[in-house]
Amino acid sequence: MKIETRVLNDVIVMELKAVQLNHKEPDRGGSSYSVLAVADLQVHLTHEQLVGRLPVLLLLLLRATSCSGARRKNIFKEGSRLSLDFTMTKTLVLPFQPLKSPAQKFEGVKFIRRQGPKMQLTLTQPDDWHLHLRDGDLLKAVLPHSASTFGRAIVMPNLKPPITTTAAAVAYRDSILKALPSNSNFIPLMTLYLTDTMSPNEIKLARKSGAVYAVKLYPAGATTNSQDGVTDLFGKCLPVLEEMVEQDMPLLVVHGEVTNPDVDMFDREKVFIETVLKPLIERLPKLKVVMEHITTANAAKFVLSCEHALLAATVTPQHLLLNRNSLFQGGLQPHNYCLPVLKRETHRQAIVSAVTSGSKKFFLGTDSAPHERRRKESSCGCAGIYSAPIALSLYAKVFEEAGALDKLEAFTSFNGPDFYGLPRNTSKITLQKAPWQVPKSFTFPFGDIVPMFAGETLEWQPCFNSD
């Protein structure tokens, strides 16, 4: 498909309004044709990735008063093509397919509008399905950044000591709630740290508590504070996994890397899929599994192609925006170091394609992992990227560049709760298209935290929440 655009700078973009028209042309044998007339559609929404999925012909009437002649040519047979030259606005070549039923509607990007010179996106408030909040002073410092954007979050259990019991998870949840700003409605969803010694009874207690929503599998040594992780998943841990199925525990959250020293660091995820994830799904087909922070084309392909309906994946902003060159350009970049490590560009592109495809199997999980600057900028720096303050802006950047802003809300706000069996949030959050600079650091009494993209300019800025 070929799409060309010419746009005036002064085009005012209003909220998308769709009108379905069913038309019968006597001079064409009485055949019925369906048309969707759309007024005031933002130009970037005409990208091929959006237009290609529309079930009907889009008539762009951006300047209807100057292109009234186009209205008389709005009925075409299936397979025909339309070329309209809207003087001083845009030229489009679009395919046409009739509506499958009179009730079918286009609902993709009705939340996009421009007020004055600034465009806005209004989204259902998102959730973060993979978040590190730490504890103590660090928890108090970083919690407001997540609570101001996200309604809920799956909170990781890799503290020192790790959260291995329901009692510890409830106590940790209470400390999070106590540290929240007074006006916050943020809800922490707690997890347990799976160990070789965990008992099936702990799963019963977790389920009964109503506070624990996941059990986290860390292969021993795979990431920060994972030294207490699993060494014998299909042996010592099998009774726990079976009890999770029995208790309908929401899911097993998986850090998808093997830790065998013979496996190359950049191949850990691929090997994990073949040696751990596939056997796990085959052995326990009723267990919900989320493969966290996928980083490779292998993982994206596996999740998309897997017939197992209970498999999904979270994706971080760094693995959508950065490749492994970002670790080394201009010298070693410790603030771009995370686990799993960034991969080559072909993998990044594959993940972007999967996430922006509209598949319900992918949803937002920042893996935001704060560390003090001194612990990152050291001879043995910690793994983890702090993205919570800017995460939503980064995801919007990814989807805009892919021409898929109509799919952003499902990724950030719908797919996660739908998979977990939780209600979607009812509150809203707005992103404004207004350039702003990411702080170079956040300063606290205990030290500085450097965020992802520190000092750089982003295009989308969260500006308010509303009910």
List the catalytic residues.
Answer: 130, 132, 216, 255, 293, 367
Number of H helices, E strands in the chain: 14, 19
Q: What is the distance between the alpha carbons of residues 298 and 266, in angstroms, rounded to a whole number?
A: 12
Asked whether 288 and 251 are in contact (CB, 8 A), the reply is yes
Structural contact between residues 125 and 25, judged by C-beta atoms closer than 8 angstroms: no
How, if at all, do strands 362-364 and 112-115 pair? unpaired
Query: β-strands 32-39, 58-60: how paired?
Result: parallel
> Quick one: which of 178, 181, 279, 177 has its CA closest to 235?
279
- Find where tokens 């959508």 sit: 320
Alpha-carbon distance of 51 to 45, in angstroms, equals 8
Nearest by Cα to 132 from 223, 66, 24, 43: 223
Q: Where are the beta strands (DSSP E) in 202-351?
A: 212-217, 252-254, 289-291, 311-315
Cβ atoms of 427 and 151 within 8 Å: the answer is yes
Rounded to whole angstroms, how far apart are CA atoms 121 and 404? 13
